[in-house]
Each structure stands twice: as structure tokens, then as C-alpha cells.
């Protein structure tokens, strides 16, 4: 049996990581966001300490960086098919790569589109921008207004690929997880 693949997405600073960690604490298997590690590695390659909202500003080959990101998310998707759990959660999905590329006005090949079309998730939950919890850090480089714009690109990209994107209301982590689990149960 192929497991149900659930994406938790949203702009930066919306609470995705907190939800993923809480789901893990409840015993669910979760695939973690890979861009933070990639951004840290990319920043090591530069000599100055300037901050930019685009992690591609740190790399010598932005196309290779995006390709690595796409392949990393695809690898997670494929790994999910071999898992024994019935329900798996992803901190971002393959279409997030295109949403960010659109946000940064980068071109992409048909391979990116084909990957998004060929590897579909069961459900997509999006966390809306939430100024009260938003914090920038060394890997989250966007300001709140940029996070709002990224949210818009995420909604548009997932909708383009036919996903009915479910918005998770703001609230405590427990309330948000309860909402997600209820939506998954109602769809079964």
C-alpha cells in the first residue's frame, strides 16, 4: 500500500517546523525541510557576512542549487513510497521549489514542471503568514512582507498543479495539528 503523503507548506516563519516536530512527537513519520541545511552550506562558501533574502546569492551556480533542492525533495518523495506507515508528513513539497523560483524570478526547465506533475502528494496544507510568530534568523532571511509574497507564490503554484490547498488557521500548535488531522480524517 502506498502511504498518504501530506505536505505542510507556507512562507517562512509560519510555524511549519513546530508542527512537524509536534507530529513526530505524536509518532508520525516526517520528512524535514532540506533548504536550511543547504543555505547554511552555501553561506559557508562566501567570505562576507552580508545577508540577502535569496539563498541563491550565496552560491556560484544557482541552477545547480535549485536542481539539488528539487532532487532532494524528489528523493524524499520516493523514499516515502518504501515506508511502512500509512501517513507521512513533508515539511515542504516538490512544488515549493517552483514557487520560490517564481518568487525570485528565475527560469526553470520543463523537468521542474514534469517532476511536479509526475509526483503528486495526497493533500497540501498551507500555513498563512502570521506576524505575531514571525522571526528572522541565520537561515530564514526574508522579512515579513517577503514572507507574505512567498505565501502567495506557494498558493498559486500548488493550485496550478491541481491541489486543493487547505489553509490551516492560526492558533496553538496543538490546535493546528488537530485541524490538520481532522481534515485528513474527513477526506478518508
Residues recorded for the chain = 188
In Å, what is the CA distance from 17 to each residue of 2, 33, 34, 58, 145? 25, 8, 12, 23, 20
| Residue 34 pLDDT grade (very low, low, confident, very high; cuts 50, 70, 90) | confident
Higher pLDDT, 59 or 62: 62
- In the chain the beta strands, taken as DSSP E runs, fall at 4-10, 29-31, 87-91, 123-127, 165-167
pTM of the predicted model as reported, rounded to 2 decimal places? 0.86
What proportions of the chain, in percent to the nearest 5, are helix, strand and coil?
A: 50, 10, 40
| Residue 134 pLDDT grade (very low, low, confident, very high; cuts 50, 70, 90) | low
In the prediction, which pLDDT does 39 show? 58
Mean pLDDT within 64-80: 92
Higher pLDDT, 104 or 162: 162
CA angle, 108 as apex, 54 and 35 as ends, to 5°? 40
Best CA proximity match to 70, nearest among 39, 31, 111: 111
In the prediction, which pLDDT does 51 show? 43
In the prediction, which pLDDT does 140 show? 53
| Residue 137 pLDDT grade (very low, low, confident, very high; cuts 50, 70, 90) | low
| Domains of the chain by start residue, with CATH | 4-187 (3.40.50.300)
Amino acid at each position: 500500500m502506498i502511504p498518504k503523503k501530506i505536505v505542510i507548506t507556507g512562507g517562512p516563519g509560519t510555524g511549519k517546523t513546530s508542527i512537524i516536530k509536534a507530529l513526530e512527537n505524536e509518532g508520525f513519520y516526517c520528512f524535514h525541510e532540506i533548504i536550511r541545511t543547504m543555505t547554511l552550506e552555501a553561506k559557508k562558501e562566501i567570505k562576507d557576512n552580508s545577508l540577502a533574502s535569496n539563498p541563491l546569492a550565496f552560491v556560484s551556480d544557482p541552477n545547480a542549487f535549485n536542481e539539488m533542492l528539487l532532487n532532494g525533495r524528489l528523493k524524499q518523495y520516493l523514499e516515502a513510497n518504501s515506508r511502512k506507515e500509512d501517513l507521512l508528513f513533508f515539511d515542504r513539497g516538490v512544488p515549493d521549489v517552483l514557487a520560490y523560483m517564481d518568487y525570485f524570478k528565475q527560469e526553470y526547465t520543463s523537468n521542474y514542471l514534469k517532476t511536479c506533475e509526475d509526483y503528486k502528494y495526497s493533500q497540501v496544507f498551507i500555513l498563512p503568514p502570521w506576524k505575531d510568530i514571525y522571526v528572522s534568523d541565520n537561515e530564514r532571511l526574508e522579512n515579513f512582507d517577503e514572507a507574505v509574497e512567498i505565501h502567495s507564490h506557494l498558493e498559486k503554484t500548488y493550485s496550478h498543479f491541481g491541489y486543493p490547498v487547505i489553509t490551516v488557521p492560526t492558533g496553538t500548535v496543538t490546535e493546528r495539528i488537530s485541524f490538520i488531522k481532522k481534515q485528513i480524517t474527513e477526506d478518508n
